[in-house]
Amino acid sequence: MPYLPLGRLFWKFLIFFFLAQMTAVLGIGLAIWAIRAEQGAEPPPPRFAAEPAESAHHFDPPPFPLPLAGPNGRKPPPPPIHGPKLPILHLLAGAIVSLIFAALLAAYVSRPIRRLRMALQAGASGRLVPELAAAMGARRDELADLGRDFDRMARHLAQLMEGQRRLLYDVSHELRSPLARLNAIIGLARQQPENLDVCLSRLEHESMRMDGLLSELLTLSRLESGMDERAHEIVDISELLGDVVADAAPEAEQAACCIELSAPDSVLVQGDPEMLHRAFDNLLRNALTHARSGGWVGVELSSTAEEVRVSVDDRGPGVLSADIDRLFLPFHRGTTSADRSGHGLGLAIAKQIVDRHHGRIAVVNRPEGGLRLCIVLARVLA
């Protein structure tokens, strides 16, 4: 079928709507014409009615007038009975009006579908611009809802594509530094064979660093793609936070930092204990990294009838307002961070874990100084 400017769907709708309306117009018109034809074929009523007799010698007139004889003495034929004619003009007018309304209705239905097709073609070319809902105008129907859903999908896909490009750039940048250090250590070992033990120690340290980076990248990728299925277990957050604080005790002692845990006896949530342990551990180690020497880190657990809130506070320098929204992006360390040894993936992984548990994670600067990271999860009553 050749391409038409209005689209093939428009002509299909036009034909179907026009045939449907013409069938109704013809059916109703012919039915009215048939009824009028039957009424016109009935014999006319008598022209004279019988009158009451005035006397005994009075004769009633005949019920119909006597026919008059013609010039040749013959009776004239009765006048022909004419029924209603077929309403050709009315049916033609109905067809024209039906065609106009069918064309308007077909255009009203097919136009947003054509715009959706053009938007899909643009998306296939890599131009994910959420503008379909604006092109729908003031429509308030399912097609307008489809346009808004498409724009929402386009924005999400654009964010994912931008995130993938940014992640690829950050990964290549992060891997370039340890690879350059490895090459430098190898060159140093060749130039100074007597320092081979020192060079091997540095090589081991850099290889472990790269292994940790790749492990975190793999975890983040699996979380973003949804490959890791969340376990549905009842987890005691109080006990879990105790384990997290105990695991971070050597690092806190090395940083001369005190960790203060405030938690009730038993608060239950549903989820994956290993993933939740990793999320809280990332928050605590982030606080220890940014806390000043001899400082303090507070871990507080509070709960209501529906929610569980875990806050991790520190007395570090905090973050700039411009960095708060970017703090959960991969490889973002913040402009005020003094320690650049991390990879910038801990908070991004924590956010993915919390999202998979249908929770919320937020970050604010404390009025007393420092940063507060807060995780909110749904509570399970015992």
In angstroms, rounded to a whole number, what is the distance separating the alpha carbons of residues 45 and 180?
116
Q: Which sign does the torsion angle of CA 265, 269, 270, 271 carry?
A: negative
Token pair for 237: 């957050």
Q: Is 173 a catalytic residue?
A: yes
Longest dimension (CA), the chain: 163
Please tell me the distance from the alpha carbon of residue 293 to that of residue 333, in angstroms, as a whole number. 19
Q: Residue 226 region, left (φ>0) first, then alpha (ψ -120 to 50), else beta?
A: left
Distances (CA, A) of 187 to 20, 134, 180, 192: 84, 60, 11, 9
| Residues 147-183: b if buried by 16+ CB within 10 A, e if exposed | beebbeebeeebeeeeeeeebeebbeebeeeeeebbe
CA distances from 275 to 137, 186, 189, 218, 244 (A): 45, 38, 41, 14, 12
First-to-last C-alpha distance (Å) of the chain: 67
Looking at residue 139, the DSSP 8-state letter turns out to be -
User: Burial level of 135, CB count in 10 A (0-12/13-18/19+)?
Assistant: middle
Which one from 156, 173, 205, 358 is the annotated catalytic residue?
A: 173
Exposure of 190 by Cβ count < 10 A (0-12 exposed, 13-18 middle, 19+ buried)? Answer: exposed
Which among 323, 203, 299, 197 is positioned nearest to 247, based on CA atoms?
299
Q: Catalytic amino acids?
A: 173
